[in-house]
Structure 1
Amino acid sequence: MDRGTFIEHEGRPAVRFQRTYAHPVDRLWAAITRTEDLAHWFPSKVALEGEVGGTVSFSHDPNVDDDHGTVLAYDPPHRLAFTWGGDELHFELAPAAGGCTLTLINVLEARDTAARNAAGWAVCLAELGKYVADGSADGPHSDSAEPWRPLYEAYVAAGMPSGAPIPGA
């Protein structure tokens, strides 16, 4: 498993992922900002107003209620950040040899959500990888997605903070 790591981000608990994709920055920027692209890998349907202070709407996630957040950073095609409930999501894209590197930091409202969220993002990022490679991703809630539970158990076994309620459990 290509693990996310538990970190402190500006004094708050967070999980961080870094992935390199064999695609240009513009391709990944579209995948993290366009509603039709996000539908293939993000856990909720997302509608994003592309400006700082803009609204982000989240809907159709089987595990959480519909919600909205605020765009905190919008610097195409390199940086996007927004709130989601009490969490923040920070995406950074940088050119890399043969493609681009995506760094995702999920700043957590509560420390005990680290293992749960890390497992979820591992599933989502695997779907993102499939989607940008060949468009074949069915989304993180699909039967073809990597199973969440074994990832969660691996993060807990590795000592990542855990204990938050598991939706649907």
Structure 2
Amino acid sequence: MIITNPGGYLEIGGRPAVRFERIYDHPVDRVWRMVADPAELAHWFPSPKVVIEPVAGGAITFSGDPNMPEATTSGRIIDYDPPRRLAFTWGGDELHFDLEPLDGGRTRFVLTNVLEARDTAARNAAGWDVCLSALDARAEDRAAEQPAWKPRYDAYVAAGLPSGAPIPGQD
């Protein structure tokens, strides 16, 4: 069983952010592999080709995003503390993956996307919803479905998350 919360909008240090939380019925080491091992990231992360230099200050590169097929993005590892925390820059954004072991061999996973621009909140929240659905499927050893992005985006806009940023892959 996975306990999920929809993405929420907040500000961190004066910057806009969206945050998601999951509780997985797996020990922290297993969840860590799903979120920090490039082979595992390929199953759910928007850019399935990830190369990580696993050390604070190390390089990280992303490619293979079907919505931006020619793009390769580079970033830097902000924090690397296995199996508790992975944080890195991704374009002008920051991604923070925080894991906390819980009783019963379960793990709390929190993804925080600190945004470069406020108007990307609804767009990014909808994208992370889709990606995290694939991570949830991976955690449950089942095939991932491809949920529709647009209804999720519309729901986040209706919930009041800032919107208006361009949508990759759409004119």
TM-score (norm 2): 0.92
Aligned to 1:22: 25
Query: What per-residue deviation string (whole Å, max 9, x for no partner) do you get for residues 83-135 of structure 1?
Result: 00000000100012331000110000000000000000011111101012105
Aligned to 2:61: 57
Structure 1 unaligned spans of 5+: 138-143
CA distance in structure 2 between the aligned counterparts of 1:52 and 1:135, rounded to whole angstroms: 33
Query: What per-residue deviation string (whole Å, max 9, x for no partner) do you get for residues 42-97 of structure 1?
Result: 00021111100111110111223111100000000001100000000001000123
Aligned to 1:81: 87
The residue type paired with residue 125 of structure 2 is A
1:4 matched to 2:10? The reply is: no
1:131 matched to 2:138? The reply is: yes
Secondary structure of the structure 1 residue equivalent to 2:136: helix
**Runs of 4+ residues over 6 Å off in structure 1:** none
Residues 88-127 of structure 1: matches in 2 within 5 Å?
88-98=94-104, 99-127=106-134
Over aligned residues, Cα RMSD in angstroms? 1.2
1:146 matched to 2:147? The reply is: yes
1:67 matched to 2:68? The reply is: no
CA distance in structure 2 between the aligned counterparts of 1:35 and 1:90, rounded to whole angstroms: 16
CA distance in structure 1 between the aligned counterparts of 2:114 and 2:56, rounded to whole angstroms: 18
After TM superposition, give the deviation of residue 148 of structure 1 in Å: 0.6
After TM superposition, give the deviation of residue 136 of structure 1 in Å: 2.7
Aligned to 1:33: 36
After TM superposition, give the deviation of residue 9 of structure 1 in Å: 1.1
The residue type paired with residue 80 of structure 2 is Y
1:47 matched to 2:51? The reply is: yes
The residue type paired with residue 82 of structure 1 is F
Secondary structure of the structure 2 residue equivalent to 1:109: coil
Structure 2 unaligned spans of 5+: none
Secondary structure of the structure 2 residue equivalent to 1:134: coil
